[in-house]
Amino acid sequence: MNRFFTFLLLLLTIVSCKKSSTVITPTNPTLPSTYFFTDLKVNGAFSGFTYNGLNQEPEIKISFSAPINAASIKDNINLSDSFGNTATFSSTFENNDNTLVIKPTALQALTKYILTVNTGLLSKLGNKLQSAVTVNLTTSANDVDKFARISDNDLLTLIQKQTFKYFWDFAHPNSGMARERNTSGDIVTTGGTGFGIMSIVTAVNRNFITRIEGKARIQKILSFLKSADRFHGVFPHWINGNTGKVQAFSAKDNGADLVETAFLMEGLLVARQYFNSNDADEVNLRADVNLLFNAVEWDWFRKNGEDRLYWHWSSNFNWEMNLPVRGWNEALMVYVLAASSTTHTIPKSVYDAGWAANGGMKNGNTYYGVQLPLGPPNGGPLFFEHYSFMALNPNSLTDAYANYEVQAKAHTKINYNYCVADPLKFGYSKDCWGLTASDINGGYTASSPNNDKGYIAPTAAVASLPFAPEESMQAIRFFYYKLGDKLLGEYGFKDAFSLHDPWFAQSYLAIDQGPQIVMIENYRTGLIWDLFMSCPEVKSGLIKLGFQSPKI
């Protein structure tokens, strides 16, 4: 046993000595096969990999962990717009060739570009880039006038005349009514037609068309309406322009729409007051307007005598939509005309409790430095101040709840001030403002300071001309001179646009085109206001509701 342990000890000693005498020769380290991105600056600043509002020749500096092989730039760096069109650029080096400086030759204004650096970009040692680099670049509007300068007066006439084509050239051929939008086919819109009728009156007065042409078109509309679907005298939101049958606006909205009917009736009353001669055609036109207006059963829409009016009724779904018409929003005209009716009127209590919520529609808070008398925080979309006040003159108009001139101007100024502040950095400014309901990229929304998706609708600022003339005129000039090549089309300004993520609608909507023509005219001459306020029924209705105005 002792011999065994002696042998084992000797063996371990030999092995240990052998290990300690082994020499390990180091090998050369393997060089890395890749290098990597380290820094990015666009026009001297870093803000991630997306840049908006750039000039047309931005400077882009991309830095790497190794010097770049200039010969690999051509095949591995690409600059193109969102449609794949390639843009040219020059490239130089800084920082011992570790920083690549890219200068586009001349990008297009209001265009989105993508700069891509592929992994095939080689270093001077022949190594590949570890990960590709993608930079999103969006240019701003340039300062070049797209059209020759003209006087502001001529510019307003041009906009009115061009926009009027929507209601004249694009009117439904059978009914004469306004199509809902430029892709609506045979769907015509009740409220939009009311706006269109006021536009026709404006066009006659400005000699865009003759008086004979104007009254013939309105008579065509009246003849169609007399045989179209009605529900207790109230028209649906949409009608088939060939058949006169209701076209469902939504699943249960396939009957009467009291608000849309009010917008139609305000237009018809304006036409009645304008075509006031003893000419037989004009006498018949006035008679047809009275027939349709007197047939509207405003009081029936109190739903069994409630102290409020309801928006919808359907012969299939009755009152299931259950939407009271209450303020503050665009629907003041409903209560004014209901009170003005000589056949189906409402008492003041319905206005006070239903519309005004006995004072509950008051606001009184200050937003962006302006106190708002009525409505939701920040005022809501600007169409609240357009649709009823296209005909109803808010200047010096007061009741127990507000001064409506102050309301209209305050709401407009809040919207303007919000856009100038541009808290979400969408590229708004003193030149570019106006949030209201419009098309947006991929949908439709009622834009406002509380629902800002980054889209400006020209109708918002244009139709606010009577309430903020200097601010609106500044926006109109910008829309026409700076964006006109993209924004002005066959029927006036297109519905909306975004400068943040450049996009221009290809659509026109009746309810957005009409207010532009009419409110420009109210600013210039007060024509539509004067005609509507001259209606004896309207004067009586306003007095009944407790309104005061020099016009009544």
Q: Is 50 exceeded by the pLDDT of residue 21?
A: no
Cβ-contact 456, 430 below 8 angstroms: no
* Omega of the bond leading into 311 within 30 degrees of 0 (cis): no
Q: What angle do CA 479, 482, 485 make, to 5 degrees?
A: 85
**pLDDT, position 28:** 52
Dihedrals phi, psi of 408, to nearest 5 degrees: -65, -45
Percentage helix, strand, coil for the chain under 3-state DSSP, each rounded to 5: 40, 20, 40
The string of DSSP letters for 32-52 reads: PSEE-EEEEEETTB-BTBEEE
Strand partners, 39: 63
Structural tokens at position 428: 């708004």
> Distance (Å, rounded) from C-alpha 176 to C-alpha 516?
20
pLDDT at 268 over 80: yes
User: Kind of pairing, strands 492-493 and 488-489?
Assistant: antiparallel
> In which band, very low, low, confident or very high, does the pLDDT at 52 lie, cut at 50, 70 and 90?
confident
Cα separation of 49 and 134, whole Å? 7
Q: How many helices (H) and strands (E) does the chain have?
A: 16, 25
Strands of the 99-104 sheet, one edge to the other: 37-42, 60-64, 99-104, 89-94
Q: For residue 273, what pLDDT band results from cuts at 50, 70 and 90? A: very high
pLDDT tens for residues 131-184? 999 999 999 888 999 999 999 999 999 999 999 999 999 999 999 999 999 999
Judge whether 80 and 136 are in contact, CB under 8 Å: no
pLDDT band at 18 (very low <50, low <70, confident <90, very high): very low
Residue by residue, what is the 3-state secondary structure of 434-454?
CCCEEEECCEEEECECCECCC
Closest CA to 435 of 424, 449, 421: 449
Kindly list the domain boundaries of the chain, sorted by start residue: 34-139, 152-545
Amino acid at 90: S
For residue 218, which of 158, 280, 267, 153 has the smallest C-alpha distance?
A: 267
- Return the residue matching tokens 């082994």: 22
pLDDT over threshold 80, residue 498: yes
pTM (two decimals):
0.89
CATH class of 34-139: mainly beta
Q: Tell me, what's the pLDDT at 53?
A: 85
Q: How many whole angstroms separate alpha carbon 264 and alpha carbon 336?
A: 13
Work out the average pLDDT over 253-280: 98
Among positive and negative, which fits the CA dihedral 391, 396, 400, 402? positive
pLDDT tier for residue 32 given thresholds of 50, 70 and 90: low
Spatial separation of the C-alpha atoms in residues 539 and 549, rounded to whole Å: 10
Instruction: Report the topology of domain 152-545.
Output: Glycosyltransferase (1.50.10)
Phi and psi for 99 in degrees, rounded to 5?
-115, 125
Q: Nearest CA to 296 among 249, 252, 333, 337?
A: 337
In terms of phi and psi (left: phi > 0; alpha: psi -120 to 50; beta: otherwise), the region of 94 is beta
SS3 199: helix
Q: What is the mean pLDDT of residues 466-479?
A: 98
Residue with tokens 């005349």: 161
Instruction: Give percent above pLDDT 70 in the chain.
Output: 94
SS3 432: coil
Q: What is the 3-state secondary structure (H, E, C) of 305-344?
A: CCCCEECEEECCCECCCCCEECCCCCCHHHHHHHHHCCCC
